[in-house]
Structure 1
Amino acid sequence: IEPTWAQICAMGYEIPGMGVIGGDIVAGILDRFDTRIARVLLDEHTGVVVETATTAYLPNKAMRRFIRQRDGHCRFPGCARGAKRCEPDHVIPFSRGGPTAIWNLVALCKHHHRVKHDAGWTLTMTPDGHCTWTDPHHRHYATHPINHHELAA
């Protein structure tokens, strides 16, 4: 369930490096300017971005932004290509009923997107974005979402 703007305003908003501003200030900013606010929820212990779904195949702009922020780079083991140069891929394929939801999308560069589909690799992902890759020889590799607490330190 997506929150309404009124609910978001009532919660307040945190500006990184500045602190939390009240809902009345958020509402004023939204009323005065053509403002877009992205709601990003972080796990307070791990700093990982946590929690959006659509019936469409392609993720919307907010989902793509979320995936870039959560993943930071291609999630294939050992790849460091930045997430801005990656494409979102369904962990559970859309053609097999996998939803277009952030918990089922992962950033992959074009090369590793093809590898995942054509070379016998499999991928599972936990709801908080931790990936386990299995290669064609059944060896396992783990990749993890960006820890935003470490980046802020």
Structure 2
Amino acid sequence: MAILEILEFPDPRLRTVAEPVDSFDEGLRKLVEDMTETMYAESGIGLAATQVDVHRRVLVLDVSDSRDDLRVYINPEIVAEHGTEISEEGCLSVPGIYAEVQRAERIDIRACRADGSSFEESLDGLHAVCLQHEMDHLAGKLFVDYLSPLKRQMVRKKLEKRQRQAQKKAAAVL
């Protein structure tokens, strides 16, 4: 297993729309393992393949407190949405930034497991919010897209400044 590099906003690769998975092979299983290790290493609760510069419809989630309830979704699709709720979201690709986002309160989904078998389930609460958030990544969308243009620009400038400071610090070490 390997820890993968997570792309950060405003990296344009985060805007790439993911392609469906059509081969449920060892490469897919390795990707799922690496994404899972990366998500846990970064203390995340979800990670989409787009965030690690792999543009396939793959995501992993674990919203449990004990970090022992890994869920894998290949080619997920929402088949029904029920109600709405507003909750605060953060993102491994937008580190240190949190904002309130409106999403469906409950969703019915269809997806495949890493072995190619399909399943359907109904989700609510944090699990539903997280799945919708990660599915946005697969569509090239970020939670900051739900913010006003002014707030989104402020986030962009803050993260760009942070990235420049990190580059300066790294250059000073060399």
TM range, normalised to the smaller chain? under 0.3
Q: In terms of Rg, which structure is larger?
A: 1
Q: What is the TM-score when the length of structure 1 is the normalising length?
A: 0.22
TM-score norm. by structure 2 comes to: 0.20
Of Structure 1 and Structure 2, the greater helix share is in 2
Greater strand proportion: 2
Q: Which has the higher contact order (CA 8 A, sep 6+)?
A: 2
